[in-house]
Amino acid sequence: MDLNPAMKGAKPRNLVQSIERVSMILNTLSDCPQGLSLGDLSQKVNLSKGTTHRLLSSLVFLNYVRQDTETKKYKLGFKLVELGNRLLNQIDFRTEARHFLVALSERTKETVHMVVLDQNEALYIDKVEAIGQPSGLRMGSMLGSRVPAHCSAVGKVLLATLNEDELAALINATGLPRRTANTITVFSKLKEHLKLVRKNGYAIDGEENEIGIQCVAAPIYDQRAEVVAAISISVPVSRVKLRLLKTELKDRVMETALAISKKIGYPGR
C-alpha cells in the first residue's frame, strides 16, 4: 500500500520524520471519508497508537483533523478546505478561465474539467457540470481529486509537454497501472501516443480510465507559450459517438483552450 501517494521520486535525506508521518495520516484519512478509529488509523499508517494519538492531538487542535463526538472517529478537518481554496485562488488562470468553461459546458451540454499536472497525476482544479440538462453527464470527479495522467485525455495533453528524460523519470517512479482494458501500459506505446498528441494538439481518452466514459482535451498556454493546464469535455460512450468526439467536440475544446490561453497572455495564433 502506498501510504503517501503525494510523495514521488527519491526521498530527500533531510525529510523530517514527524512531517512525513503527518502527511501519511492526512493522506490515509483522505481515502476514508467515513472516518477511522485511532486503532484502524494507527494500523494503516504503521505507527503505534501512542505516536498516532500524539500527532492527531496536534492536528485536531490546529483544525487539520476533526474527531466525531459520537463515533470518536477521525476525519479530515476544515482547515484543509480553507488552504485548498486559497491555493486555487492563487492560480490566476483559473479565475480567468471560469466563464469560458461555463460557456463551453452550456454550448455542448456536457461536463467540462480543467486540470494541472502534479507528478504523474492530473489534478482537478475546476469543473462545470451540465446540471439540469437531460443529456448531461454527471461524474464523481471533484475539485482536488486526481486521475492517472497516462490514461486520461487531460493527463496525456500535459504529459506530452515533457521531454523524454522527464517522462521516463516520472513513469519509472510510478509505473503505468491499468485502469481498463484500453489503458496504455507499455512505455514505448505511450511515447508514440504522446507524439500524436503533440502533433494534433489534443488528446482522446477512449475508455482508458473508466469504461463507458470518453474524453477529449486540449492544452492551455501561458504568456511564455508554456502549457500550464488542460481542459476537457467528458461524454458517455452510449450517447456520443467517437466520430463526434474527434470532430465537433474536439473543435469546441480546442477553441476554448485557445481563447483561455489568449486571455492569460499567450502570444500564439
Q: Using the 8-state DSSP alphabet, how is residue 136 labeled? A: P
As a whole number of angstroms, the distance between CA 114 and CA 219 comes to 10
Question: Alpha helix locations (H) across the chain?
Answer: 17-30, 38-44, 49-61, 79-90, 92-108, 153-159, 164-174, 187-200, 242-244, 250-263
**CA torsion through residues 59, 64, 69, 73, sign:** negative
Residue 71 counted as domain residue: yes
Residue 64 and residue 126 share a domain: no
Question: Do residue 78 and residue 114 come from a single domain?
Answer: no
The whole domain housing 74 covers 17-82
Domain boundary (60, 82, 104) is at 82
- Burial (Cβ within 10 Å: 0-12, 13-18, ≥19) of residue 72: exposed
Does 219 fall in a domain? yes
What is the length of the chain? Answer: 269
Select from 268, 259, 248 the least CA-distant residue to 93. Answer: 259
> Is 249 part of a structural domain of the chain?
yes
Within a domain: 77: yes
Same-domain pairing of 182 and 115: yes
Any idea which residue has 475539485 for its cell?
143
**Bridge partners of 233?**
112, 216
Whether 269 is covered by a domain: the verdict is: no
Indicate if 148 and 209 belong to the same structural domain. Answer: yes
On whether both 180 and 103 belong to a single domain, the answer is yes
What is the CATH classification number for the domain harbouring 199? 3.30.450.40
- The pTM of this model reads 0.68
Q: Is there a single domain that holds both residue 222 and residue 127?
A: yes
- One digit per residue, pLDDT tens: the chain, 269 residues? 333 444 445 566 777 888 899 999 999 998 888 999 999 999 999 999 999 999 999 999 999 999 998 899 999 998 888 777 666 655 667 888 999 999 999 999 899 999 999 878 899 999 998 765 444 455 556 667 888 999 999 999 999 999 999 999 989 888 999 999 999 999 999 999 999 999 999 999 999 999 999 999 999 998 888 899 999 999 988 888 878 888 899 999 999 999 999 988 888 77
Q: Looking at residue 223, what is its pLDDT?
A: 83
Whether 41 and 142 share a structural domain: no
Q: Is 20 exposed, middle or buried, given 0-12, 13-18 or 19+ CB atoms closer than 10 A?
A: middle
Find residue 235's DSSP bridge partners: 214
Given a contact cutoff of 8 angstroms between Cβ atoms, the answer to whether 122 and 217 are in contact is no
CA atoms within 13 A on the CB side of 200: 20
Domain-located, residue 240: yes
Looking at the structure, do residues 97 and 170 belong to the same domain, yes or no?
yes
